[in-house]
Structure 1
Amino acid sequence: MALQQFSRSKTVAKRSKKYLEEALYKRLFKDGSSEVSVRHQLNQFIKSSKRVYKWEVGDTIKKLRQRNRYYPALKLSETMARRGMNMTVSDQAIHLDLVAKTRGITAAENYFIDLHETSKNHLSYGALLNCYCKELMTEKAEALVDKMKELKIALSSMPYNSLMTLYTKTGQPEKIPSIIQEMKACDVMMDSYTYNVWMRALAAVNDISGVERVIEEMKRDGRVAGDWTTYSNLASIYVDAGLFEKAERALKELEKRNACKDLSAFQFLITLYGRTGNLLEVYRVWRSLRLAFPKTANISYLNMIQVLVNLKDLPGAEKCFREWESGCSTYDIRVANVLIKAYVSEGLLERAEELKERARRRGAKPNAKTCEIFLDYYLKKGEFKLSVDCVANAISIGKGDGRKWVPSSDIIGMLMKHFEQEKDVDGAEDFVEILKKAVDVVAVEVFESLIRTYAAAGRTSPAMRHRLKMENVEVSEAIKKLLEAVCVE
């Protein structure tokens, strides 16, 4: 290992200053971290056939995964494999995970099947298991664990943790204690994640005393020291149970264990003190965060302003926002959205509109969330034309990660019902066209409402039956009767 580290350091030292400044991951992110810009830079790199070191490729793939840029990470992995770069079993496990995230579980299974038998060890099996667990495929996950046991693959805490997380997400916390017992029987050392999942499982069945016994057992065992995440988890459980005094004691323990000044720990402290209603502690921790991170990140301001809004401290939220706004290098619409929503909730629509416009002038375009905030307000006020405009804008903008924004079925139902009541066929038809920009298949309920609107307005549409056939929509018997009147020539 020492030889490998020396060799790497020596190799890196030989690289020119310019090359070091243009590391692969920096090139990929030079135009920002959007999916489009990363793909463009990656394509440029692939075409160039420039040489990179294996450790640099691994580091770049790691950074791409951290930023949820799974397709570029997969493409880079595939390209380097084609160029002859040796892939370790660990690399293959990461590749399998990327295949699952970008091409689906079936593709990941096929990749696993095609691996050489020597590559099918705890890493590749563990990666496939993790994929099954994330997709909530309980039967396949359990069968794979049984297969691992059958092959006598040594199980660490990781596969058990994946399985327990699956049971937590699928509402089966009662299965977790038996997994804990199996780990103990097989002398598998539990880690902090194991204890956290175990505590959450007991909390899910309201066994708070059981949660406290887990903490005591962890202390007695001594092999795993409770870190700040353990006490954050404990505090959150206490808050959910309404045990605010115990929650605050757990938060004090959290602070003691945050010696390395982890930003996430500070943000959990602010959020959890906020949930206990302790505004003084919220401000105290915020001051500590600002001292530890003088160049405070947008996400920290976002969290703090949200907590202050939740605690009904609007003047404090506005002051914090002005502080952020005066010093931010990038005007983040997410931060503005928190205050915009607070204004809208208080009925201060004019101030909300002013802030939205100010954000626009600073280069932060309203996103789909901004539209949702105003949409909710207009729906409650019965301003349906403005509500439709908000839906259209949100669909046009889409989600920040490139996915489409789709209104909820409740919102769609509310707007279609309005068109029915108003006998507004043209409004309903326009809204259906807007929906088609967001969804591949318009729900049958939308077409049934549209037909009821035609019937209520006494309007006809001779082509409606053909239209339903083209859209592959099968309406109810009651609607078929209405079609007799709607489809007349």
Structure 2
Amino acid sequence: MMINRYRNRIPFINTSTFLRNFSTAVEESNIPAEAVPPPPPPPKESANEKRLYRRLSAIGATGGTVTQTLNEYTREGHFVKKVELERCVRELRRYGKYDHALEVMEWMDKRDINFSNTDLAVRLDLISKVHGVAAAEGYFNDLSPVMQNRNTYGSLLNSYCKLKLVDKALALFKEIEAKKFTTSLSFNNMMTLYIGLEQPEKVPPLVEEMKARKIPLSTFTYNIWMQSFSLLGDIEGVERVYEEITRDHKETCNWTTYCNLAGAYVKAGLSEKADSALKMVEHEMGQGRPSREAYHFLITFYSTLNNKEEIHRLCNVLKSSFEITSNVSYRIMLQALSKVKDLEGMKKCFEEWESNCTYYDTRVANVVVSGYLRHGMVAEAEVIFHGAVKKSKGPFVQTLALFMKHYLATQQMDLAFKCLETAATREESNWYPHIDNIEEFMKYYEQEKDVESAEKLYNCLKSLKCVDDKVYTLLLQIYIAAGVTNPDIR
């Protein structure tokens, strides 16, 4: 199957009413694993700053690069302050546009704009996300000794912990200790590492060590401490931490605290207590500036509790609380409506987004595709796709994965393979199928003794550079089942 790489099309596949193109997948949100405390409210943004950020955030739709956009903006006579650029970086990071955020910082660097210690740490973090941890290490090692400080060490440790690089994280933590750069953030990073490694029992001892050394416990420390007890199934431990923070450290208690408490109650099946905690979240939110993230958490929680009425109410409150409803907010709302099986509500919400969006984020459309496929509504999913392909440039690989999984689940193996084959020819990402999906293909081919299809799959996986010993073993089992003894197999 040939792909026209210069057009936003994937060729028609003449089987049934199979989809003709695809957009990015957004996995259904579960209860947030942890609620990260929001940064302090920034100064009121200027009209100039709003214009600049809107241009930068729209690059995905308008084309061009960050450098071109910033150069054009300054040629128009706009004077750009450092604080405005920093805020743009912060917002781009918040919405996952790490490559664009890094380009802003590189543009600043070329113009000899001085970076603070915090700026250096942010840049290191972005390099890790965009170019990988090796590039981040290179950047850190090239910094002068005075710039290898508490901030940049902390940023590098954060990268190691997020990527679960245990040995490197432990070694760097010891180095941070030796240099007396240790802060609550360093401990928080290690706690996050242990949660990611499914070793929550290692979190409480770290908290006790912080207390013994009189290192202040931040809001995040309390949140992740609560989470560790929740993962251990110790709801009494969760409540003890909550009582401590509200009794002794009320100043560190905010909406994220109540979100973590609600999450623990939901996990323990204590719906009434969870509902009470969510009411406290909303009360806490009313005490200050509205937070999109808080609304996102609330809507997601209520979808887990299957409370359709609260979802609709909060969606309306969210939309009325901000001048613009972001694409991320629409994704959250659509995921929640899909989860409670409100397909009509999901459809109306999606139509509202399509009519108002300034940037057609295919990930939003894909939430609806996923929702329809979950209910076996393939034709409806295709309709969403047709609209998306007319209005966006992709990327499309992840939606191929959505349809592939649907066809695997319904044993339509030819269609599933066509999805995989088409994805393999795209140049949009380094995507490759999960080993569980590969196993589904291979087990089916083994059962059918279908060597020809298995070899087609193998060649497709080779093109994606994801063949390993597991794949070879699965292929060998198919040869054995089919009685194939060709010496070329070796």
Same fold (TM over 0.5): yes
Give the aligned partner of residue 170 of structure 1: 197
Give the aligned partner of residue 97 of structure 1: 125
Shift of 1:96: 3.2
Give the aligned partner of residue 434 of structure 1: 460
Within 2, Cα distance between the matches of 1:65 and 1:156? 23
* Higher share in helix: 1
How is 1:105-254 mapped onto 2 (pairs within 5 angstroms)? 105-153=133-181, 155-254=182-281
2:334 and 2:346 in contact (8 A); partners too: yes
Shift of 1:189: 2.0
Within 2, Cα distance between the matches of 1:147 and 1:286? 47
Structure 1 SS opposite 2:251: coil
Unaligned runs of 5+ in 2: 1-45
Matching residue within 257, 263, 270 for 2:284: 257
Shift of 1:21: 8.0
Name which of structure 1's ranges 272-281 and 228-237 shifts more when overlaid on structure 2: 272-281
Within 2, Cα distance between the matches of 1:348 and 1:54? 50
2:230 and 2:267 in contact (8 A); partners too: no
1:375 and 1:387 in contact (8 A); partners too: yes
1:133 and 1:166 in contact (8 A); partners too: yes
Q: Give the direction of change, closer, same or farther, for the CA distance of 1:236–1:442 in structure 2 (3 Å limit).
A: same
Shift of 1:407: 1.5
Give the aligned partner of residue 316 of structure 2: 287
2:430 matched to 1:404? yes
1:360 and 1:366 in contact (8 A); partners too: no
Within 1, Cα distance between the matches of 2:212 and 2:198? 25
Report the AA paired with residue 31 of structure 1: I
Q: Give the direction of change, closer, same or farther, for the CA distance of 1:360–1:184 in structure 2 (3 Å limit).
A: same
1:29 and 1:37 in contact (8 A); partners too: no
1:191 and 1:224 in contact (8 A); partners too: no
Q: Give the direction of change, closer, same or farther, for the CA distance of 1:175–1:79 in structure 2 (3 Å limit).
A: same
Within 1, Cα distance between the matches of 2:53 and 2:318? 29
Structure 2 SS opposite 1:224: helix
Matching residue within 361, 372, 379 for 1:350: 379
Shift of 1:41: 2.6
1:356 and 1:366 in contact (8 A); partners too: no
Shift of 1:72: 5.7
1:183 and 1:189 in contact (8 A); partners too: yes
Shift of 1:238: 0.7
Give the aligned partner of residue 307 of structure 2: 278
Within 1, Cα distance between the matches of 2:177 and 2:194? 19
Report the AA paired with residue 431 of structure 2: W
Q: What per-residue deviation string (whole Å, max 9, x for no partner) do you get for residues 217-238 of structure 1?
A: 1111145242111111111111
Report the AA paired with residue 196 of structure 1: N
Give the aligned partner of residue 32 of structure 2: none
Q: What per-residue deviation string (whole Å, max 9, x for no partner) do you get for residues 29-62 of structure 1?
A: 563379x8436637978xx9x9965545544544
How is 1:38-49 mapped onto 2 (pairs within 5 angstroms)? 38=65, 41=68
Within 1, Cα distance between the matches of 2:117 and 2:395? 44
Q: What per-residue deviation string (whole Å, max 9, x for no partner) do you get for residues 421-451 of structure 1?
A: 55555544443343333x2253345456657
Q: Give the direction of change, closer, same or farther, for the CA distance of 1:156–1:318 in structure 2 (3 Å limit).
A: same
Within 1, Cα distance between the matches of 2:135 and 2:368? 44
2:311 matched to 1:311? no
Alpha-carbon RMSD: 3.9
Q: Give the direction of change, closer, same or farther, for the CA distance of 1:65–1:340 in structure 2 (3 Å limit).
A: closer
2:60 and 2:359 in contact (8 A); partners too: no
Within 1, Cα distance between the matches of 2:448 and 2:250? 69
Report the AA paired with residue 385 of structure 1: D
Q: What per-residue deviation string (whole Å, max 9, x for no partner) do you get for residues 204-249 of structure 1?
A: 1111111111111111114524211111111111111111000000
Report the AA paired with residue 157 of structure 1: S
Within 2, Cα distance between the matches of 1:302 and 1:293? 16
Q: Give the direction of change, closer, same or farther, for the CA distance of 1:53–1:410 in structure 2 (3 Å limit).
A: same
Q: Give the direction of change, closer, same or farther, for the CA distance of 1:111–1:325 in structure 2 (3 Å limit).
A: closer
Report the AA paired with residue 487 of structure 2: E
1:109 and 1:128 in contact (8 A); partners too: yes
After TM superposition, the score normalised by the length of structure 2 is: 0.76
Shift of 1:129: 2.2
1:455 and 1:485 in contact (8 A); partners too: no
* Count of residues in Structure 1 that have an aligned counterpart in Structure 2: 443
Matching residue within 369, 384, 395 for 2:413: 384
Report the AA paired with residue 158 of structure 2: N
1:157 and 1:190 in contact (8 A); partners too: yes
Q: Give the direction of change, closer, same or farther, for the CA distance of 1:375–1:103 in structure 2 (3 Å limit).
A: closer
Q: Structure 1 vs Structure 2: percent identity of aligned residues?
A: 39
Within 2, Cα distance between the matches of 1:63 and 1:316? 29
2:468 matched to 1:443? yes
Report the AA paired with residue 433 of structure 2: P
Give the aligned partner of residue 487 of structure 2: 484
Give the aligned partner of residue 321 of structure 1: 350
After TM superposition, the score normalised by the length of structure 1 is: 0.76
2:327 and 2:361 in contact (8 A); partners too: yes
Shift of 1:161: 1.3
Select the structure with the greater relative contact order (CA < 8 A; seq sep ≥ 6). 2
